[in-house]
Structure 1
Amino acid sequence: MKIITLNMNMFRYLIDGSFNEFLKEYQADVVILQEVRSSLADEVTCYTHKISPNLYQEIENIKKTIYLTVALCKDDTWQKVNIDHFHYNNRFVKIKNDDWSIFGLHLPLQDDIDSLLSIIQESDCDIICGDFNAHRKYSQIKNWKVIDNLINDKGYSDLWEKGLKEGKAYYIDYKGEKKKAHQGDFYRTFVGNTHIDYVLAKADIHLIDIIIDMRTLAFTDHCAMIVNYKKDES
């Protein structure tokens, strides 16, 4: 199972189609995009199955320029999970198939996100990934506290940290060369020289590898994170 998570706020790939080529290179089963305009997400030609946020299709007159978190799926075995007690929100999408469940999100830096935080903490998905706008050095901020809760109280693991410890973490440099990442070194996921994007997983997931691809800074302001994993057979 392979997942890509990437914030596409800048979204400049339409100049030469390089984002489609990027997606074809990895052939991921699921791509979670955050802060992508709905109209531009439709321009991704290599994925035909697109899943929009909670109750998005049921709302009339939503502008096609609104920023969404969307899931691009390789096949139609993936289905959206609507969260009945939560109104339409453009910041998250929850999907599942017979084997996996994924919660993709963009977590804003705002004071009024308590209801969204509770949804994240209670989602009970195999994978929770996206742009958390959180960094360990800002541990007093509410956004980091949700990561801390998921790891320490809900039993999730940070797959980048897990990959570093197990020798399964890599990065792609600007020349397109894949290099091993090492514990103690800093690896950013955002142009602001911070690491604010995460892939969190339940303990029964076996990590094959995880990659930060710096080349995506050519068409947005985040580095893509690519995760390859399977069920833990132990």
Structure 2
Amino acid sequence: MRIISLNANGIRSAARKGFFEWLAGQQADVVCLQETRAQEHQISDGLFRPAGYHCYYLDAERKGYSGVALYCRQEPIRVIAGFGSAEFDPEARYIEAVFPGLSVASLYMPSGSSGEVRQEAKFRFLDEFEDFLRRVKRRPREYVICGDWNIAHKQIDIKNWRGNLKNSGFLPEERAWMDMLFDRLKFVDAFRVVDPRPDRYTWWSNRGRAREKNVGWRIDYQVVTPGLGERVRAADIYTGERFSDHAPLILDYDFEPGSAGG
């Protein structure tokens, strides 16, 4: 099972940069997109519904903002829009495909980088999403929650960690939340199961030739339940082409929907 996740920074922009031509050769079973930044009527062209996939878009109420999507080879039993948040579901930050024994979700966590108001919103999101994750843990199925979590967990996950200790995305409170996710709730950072190397980033600023110099952050994850953590086989961050300020995160799992849970 191959799952690809990408913050597209505008699905129409990514399309112009060749994302769909690249995707056609990837043999992905599920594709999770974030920050699509388009209403569905604006992407009616067949390009945005790749051949061989069941495609699901969730648009934010605010135009040109946020948005998540899923492309699935196998038709899901159902698709769930949102995670039950009165504040954040209108921003279209979570969509989940339910298969036999498996759920795959696309998540776009808020950024707090624009200022204190959005950082406080991000903290509220973390509190609500923790409650949701605790419910997930009680369900008899495996989960893959893909996307832009907007937090670099450890020093290895950010090039300039000393200079970012007081910046959104690397705040002590945010990193402690990630500790809770992996240590207490026992979710697994699937990428790190197979790739412990430094300098492996998924996002780069558009300033200062950051991508060219690989001065980046690893803020895109595939977070999985423990049963899938044991089934990670390969991981890659594709940097051969530039579709967005983020790079596609590709994970291969030794798993087929229907092989566990219910």
Is the pair's TM-score, using the shorter chain for normalization, greater than 0.5? yes
What SS class does the counterpart of residue 161 from structure 1 fall into?
helix
Structure 1 residues 14, 6: closer, same or farther in 2, change over 3 A? closer
What SS does the aligned partner of 1:126 have? Answer: strand
Which residue of the partner structure matches residue 108 of structure 1?
110
Task: Specify the alignment match of 2:50 in structure 1.
Answer: 46
Percent of pairs with identical residues? 22
Residue 178 (structure 1) aligns with? none
Is the partner of 1:65 in helix, strand or coil?
coil
TM-score of the aligned structures, taking structure 2 as reference length = 0.68
Cross-structure match for 2:85: 86
Q: Following TM superposition, by how much is the alpha carbon of 1:212 offset from its aligned partner in structure 2, in angstroms?
A: 0.6
Higher strand share: 1
Whole-Å Cα distance in 2 between the matches of residues 100 and 67 of structure 1? Answer: 25
Match of 2:220? Answer: 197
Distance 1:41 1:154 in 2: 38
Q: Hey, what's the Cα distance between the residues in 1 that align with 2:102 and 2:177? A: 22
Q: Quick one: distance in 1 between partners of 2:50 and 2:193? A: 30
Tell me: CA distance 1:189–1:130, structure 2 relative to 1, closer, same or farther (3 Å): same
RMSD: 2.8
Change (3 A) 1:41 1:149: farther
Which residues of structure 1 form unaligned runs of 5+? 165-182
What pairs with 1:132-211 in structure 2 (closer than 5 Å)? 132-135=149-152, 136-137=154-155, 138=170, 140-142=172-174, 144-164=175-195, 183-192=196-205, 193-205=216-228, 206-211=231-236
Contact 1:214 1:223 (C-alpha < 8 Å) held by counterparts: yes
Structure 2's unaligned 5+ residue stretches are: 112-118, 156-169, 206-215
Deviation at 1:10, TM superposition (A): 4.5
Change (3 A) 1:121 1:147: farther
Q: 1:184 to 1:5 in 2, by over 3 A?
A: closer
The code of the aligned residue for 2:200 comes to: Y
Q: Distance in 1 between matches of 2:134 and 2:177?
A: 7
TM-score by length of 1: 0.76
| Aligned partner of residue 25 in structure 2, secondary structure | helix
Q: Deviations over 1:114-166 (max 9, x none)?
A: 32443245334521221111112425143x333222211121111111112xx
- Pick one of 219, 243, 249 that aligns with 1:219: 243
SS state at 1:81 partner? strand
3-state SS, counterpart of residue 150 of structure 2 = coil
Alpha-carbon contact 1:132-1:196 (below 8 Å) kept:
yes
Q: Which amino acid is the alignment partner of residue 197 of structure 1?
A: D
User: Residue in 2 aligned with 1:8?
Assistant: 8
Structure 1: which amino acid aligns with 2:192?
Answer: E
1:32 partner letter: C
Q: Which residue of the partner structure matches residue 76 of structure 2?
A: 77
In the TM superposition, what is the alpha-carbon distance from 1:75 to its structure 2 partner?
A: 3.3
Task: Give the structure 1 partner of residue 31 of structure 2.
Answer: 31
Q: What amino acid maps onto 2:245 in structure 1?
A: D
Contact 1:207 1:229 in 2 (8 A): yes
Report how many aligned residue pairs link the two structures.
Answer: 206
Q: In structure 1, how many angstroms separate the alpha carbons of the residues matched to 2:95 and 2:83? A: 13
Q: Distance in 2 between matches of 1:25 and 1:98?
A: 26
CA distance in 2: counterparts of 1:117 and 1:94, whole angstroms = 16
